[in-house]
Chains A and B, each alone.
Chain A
Amino acid sequence: MPHAHYLIVGASHAALSALHAIRLHDAEGEVTLLTRDDSLPYSPTVLPYVVSGRSDPGRVFLRDESYFAQHKVNYLRGAKVHKVNAGASAVELADGSSIGFDKLLLATGAAPVLPPVPGLAGLRFHVLRTLADALALREALPRVKRAVVLGGGLIGMHAAENLAKGGVQVSVVEMQAHVLAGYFDAQASGMIEKVFTANGVRLLLGASVAGFTPRGEGCRATLEDGAEIDADLLLVATGVAPVTDFLCGSGIETERGVLVDEHMRTNIANIWAAGDVAQARGFFTRERVINGILPDAVDQGRIAGMAMAEDPGTKDYAGGVPLNTYSFFGQHAVSVGVHESALEQSGVEVKKHSDEAQNRYLKIVLKDRRLAGIFGVNAAFDPGIMWELILRAIDLGEEKLAFLRSPQDTARALMSKNWR
Chain B
Amino acid sequence: MGAAYETIHFKAEACDGCNDCMSACAQAKTQTDEHLHSRIQIVPSGEGFELAICRQCGDPQCVLTCPAAALSKNAGSGVVDWDRTKCVNCLLCTVGCAYGGIAYDSVSSRVIKCDMCDGAPACVKACTTGALKHVTTARIYNEAGNLEDLFAPGLSGCQGCNTELIMRHALRRIGPDVVVATPPGCIPGMGSVGYNGLTGTKVPVFHPLLTNTASMLAGVRRQYKRSGRDVLAVALAGDGGTADVGFQSLSGAAERGEEMLYICVDNEGYMNTGMQRSGCTPYGAWTSTTPVGERAHGKTQDAKNLPLLMVMHNCAYVATASTAFMEDLYDKLDRAIQAAKTGFAYLHIYSPCTTGWRFASDQNIEVARKAVETNFVLLWEFNPEDGLQFTHPVENARPIDEYLEVLGKYRHLDRDQVAHIERSLAHNLARIRGFVAARGAASAAAGRS
Contacts and interface: CB of A to CB of B under 8 A. Distances in A.
B95 A325 contact: yes
Nearest to A385: B100
A66 to B, nearest CB: 12
Interface string A28-67: 0000000000000001111001000011000111100000
The residue in A16, A44, A380 that gathers the most chain B C-beta atoms within 10 A of its C-beta is: A380
Given A332-B104, A384-B94, A384-B98, A413 B45 contact: yes
Interface string B13-51: 000000000000000000000000000010111000011
B397 interface: no
B61 interface: yes
Contacts of A332: 89, 91, 104
A388 interface: yes
Given A384-B97, A385-B100, A43 B67 contact: yes
Contact of A43 (B68, B94, B95, B99): B68
Given A378-B106, A413-B45, A46 B94 contact: no
A412 B68 contact: no
Contact of A60 (B50, B65, B69, B103): B69
A392 B185 CA distance: 52
B59 A24 contact: yes
B65 to A, nearest CB: 5
Given A332-B91, A409-B44, A416-B45, A49 B68 contact: yes
A310 B91 CA distance: 33
B88 interface: yes
A382 B45 contact: no
B98 A419 contact: yes
B11 to A, nearest CB: 12
B88 A55 contact: yes
B67 A382 contact: no
Contact of A380 (B61, B90, B106, B109): B106
B67 A295 contact: no
B104 to A, nearest CB: 6
B135 interface: no
A413 B43 CA distance: 6
Nearest to B88: A49
A294 B65 contact: yes
A45 B99 CA distance: 23
A116 interface: no
Interface in B56-88: 59, 61, 64-65, 67-69, 85-86, 88
Contacts of A323: 95
A298 interface: yes
Interface string B98-130: 111001101001000000000000000000000
How would you classify the secondary structure of chain A's contact residues: helix, strand, loop or mixed?
Answer: helix
A63 B65 CA distance: 13
Contact of A383 (B64, B94, B106): B94
B43 A382 contact: no
A384 B99 contact: yes
A387 interface: yes
Interface string B122-150: 00000000000000000000000000000
A417 B52 CA distance: 11
Interface in A147-196: none
Contact of B99 (A61, A378, A385, A417): A385
B96 interface: yes
Contact of B92 (A45, A336, A411): A45
Contacts of B96: 295, 298, 384
A380 B91 CA distance: 12
Nearest to A331: B109
A304 to B, nearest CB: 13
B50 A417 contact: yes
A334 interface: yes
B65 A295 contact: yes
Interface string A305-348: 00000000000000000010111001010101000000000000
Given A13-B64, A43-B67, A55-B68, A415 B99 contact: yes
A220 interface: no
Contacts of B95: 295, 323, 325, 336, 383-384, 387
Contacts of B92: 45, 294-295, 325
B88 A412 contact: no
Nearest to B48: A413
B50 A382 contact: no
Interface of A: 13, 16-17, 20, 24, 43-46, 49, 54-55, 59-62, 294-295, 298, 302, 323, 325-327, 330, 332, 334, 336, 378, 380, 382-385, 387-388, 408-413, 415-417, 419-420
Interface of B: 12, 41, 43-45, 50-52, 59, 61, 64-65, 67-69, 85-86, 88-92, 94-100, 103-104, 106, 109
26 contacts: A17-B64, A20-B64, A24-B59, A43-B67, A46-B67, A46-B88, A54-B88, A59-B85, A295-B65, A295-B92, A327-B89, A327-B109, A330-B109, A382-B52, A382-B97, A383-B95, A384-B96, A385-B99, A408-B100, A412-B41, A412-B100, A413-B43, A415-B50, A416-B50, A417-B50, A420-B51
Given A16-B64, A382-B103, A416-B52, 19 more contacts: A13-B65, A17-B64, A46-B67, A46-B88, A59-B86, A60-B69, A60-B86, A62-B67, A62-B69, A325-B90, A325-B91, A325-B94, A326-B91, A327-B91, A332-B89, A334-B94, A383-B91, A415-B98, A416-B43
